[in-house]
Amino acid sequence: MDFYDSLGVTKRINAAAYYTALGGSIMSPEVIAAMNDASKSFISMHELQLKAGKKIAKLTKNEGAFITTGAASAIVLSLLAFRTKGDINEIQRIIDGTARPSEVIIQTGHRIPYDPAIRLAGSTIVTVGNAVQTFEYELESAINPNTTAIFYVAGAHLATPALSLETVVRIARKHKVPVVVDAAAQLPPLSNLWHFTKECGADLVIFSGGKTFKGPQSTGLILGKSIWIEAVRVNGSPFQRLARAFKVGKEEIAGIVTAVERYVNHDHAAEFKSWEKVIDAWVAELSPIRNLKVVREELNEAGQPIPRVAIHFPKDIALEVIATLQKLDPIVEVVHNFRDTIWLSADGLQKGEEKIVVAQVKKALAKFNFKS
């Protein structure tokens, strides 16, 4: 019997995004095979992290790399690295609660649901600017002897009210403060793997392993300067220190190394064309429905250059439409704004699911008398 069926867990079609709540992405047979192969032997986890990191660093054109248990744990590990610089005595002071205060600066426009991980690293969040704009003097005036780092969240959807990364790095370097970029969902394009560090000058950048990489959901990556990657390593598992809780297994390491290698060598242009074909077909099929506005958008909910379809309703019924979709078999997951819009994406679909998605959406819309 199918595993999920044996538990009574309902399988869903993902026309939303690679959300953790939906299990991330679907791993390739090559990734699964690598994980299975890695499960058959004992090794040194220290050696495995070092050599796996070296391979990923080469693939992503970075000085160093470290594999984590997801992007949120990568935030914690990055900040612990900045706080301690890999000094075991300073690590112990944090464990004992006797370390000096730590502040992490973030622009107001970059506040996200994942920034509590900053506090988990023992740091205080200091916000600068407002939801409309941030001035350079506001960032510079917030820097003081307790400043551990500047936390920058990448994404086109967050760019307007914030200073650019290049500006932030320039100010940070002036005051000798490191910068870490949260780019968890910022793939594609492929070049982002080195853009934030090599081209913009950030010290470290964070990516999710279980989203666009299509690696194990429980993995993440820290890429960047080797001096900071080494400080990350000293804080992390398998050392019995503060970040031991973020333990990544040998199987997950094998999986994410394989996934990164596959992603780097993937035909991204062909994949983009396949998404476009589905999106355009959805727009063509849904546009004739009366009283709806159906449009193609070029960015997804995380600001990635991935096309999607937006369906705008004349009134606030998005949640009711979602509830109807949840009652159909199979269930189709979509993105919504809680009010008057839902979005459909093609990048998480399996072969043939694009036809099921549009059929189920049309069934849900018909319940509210939205018909051609």
Q: Where are the domains of the chain?
A: 3-21+267-366, 42-264
Structure tokens at 321: 């439409």
What topology does CATH give the domain 42-264? Answer: Aspartate Aminotransferase; domain 2 (3.40.640)
Per-residue confidence (pLDDT) for residue 160, from 0 to 100? 79
Per-residue confidence (pLDDT) for residue 3, from 0 to 100? 95
pTM here?
Answer: 0.95
Please state the rounded mean pLDDT for residues 356-372. 93
Per-residue confidence (pLDDT) for residue 261, from 0 to 100? 98
Cβ contact 317:338 at 8 Å: no
Please state the rounded mean pLDDT for residues 154-158. 86
Q: What is the CATH number of domain 3-21+267-366?
A: 3.90.1150.180
Per-residue confidence (pLDDT) for residue 157, from 0 to 100? 82
Per-residue confidence (pLDDT) for residue 156, from 0 to 100? 84
Cβ contact 145:187 at 8 Å: no
> Which of 16-30, 125-139, 156-170 bottoms out in mean pLDDT, i.e. has the lowest?
156-170
- Residue of 277, 313, 323, 315 whose CA lies nearest to 296: 277
Please state the rounded mean pLDDT for residues 33-54. 98
Per-residue confidence (pLDDT) for residue 323, from 0 to 100? 96
User: Residue 60 above 90 pLDDT?
Assistant: yes
**Of 152 and 241, more confident:** 152
User: Residue 1 above 80 pLDDT?
Assistant: no
Per-residue confidence (pLDDT) for residue 161, from 0 to 100? 87
Q: What is the dihedral of CA 72, 76, 77, 79, to 10 degrees?
A: 130
Q: What is the dihedral of CA 157, 159, 161, 164, to 10 degrees?
A: 170
pLDDT digits (tens, 9 = 90+) for 254-305: 999 999 999 999 999 999 999 999 999 999 999 999 999 999 999 998 889 9
Residue 320 main-chain phi, psi, to 5 deg: -70, -40
Helix (H), strand (E) at residue 3:
helix 3-7
Cβ contact 211:25 at 8 Å: yes
pLDDT-above-70 percentage for the chain: 100
Per-residue confidence (pLDDT) for residue 148, from 0 to 100? 98
Task: Give 28's contacts (C-beta < 8 A, 6+ positions apart).
Answer: 214, 259, 262
User: Residue 38 above 90 pLDDT?
Assistant: yes
Per-residue confidence (pLDDT) for residue 258, from 0 to 100? 98
Q: What does the alpha-carbon distance between residue 57 and residue 193 come to, in Å, rounded to a whole number? A: 10
User: Residue 370 above 90 pLDDT?
Assistant: no
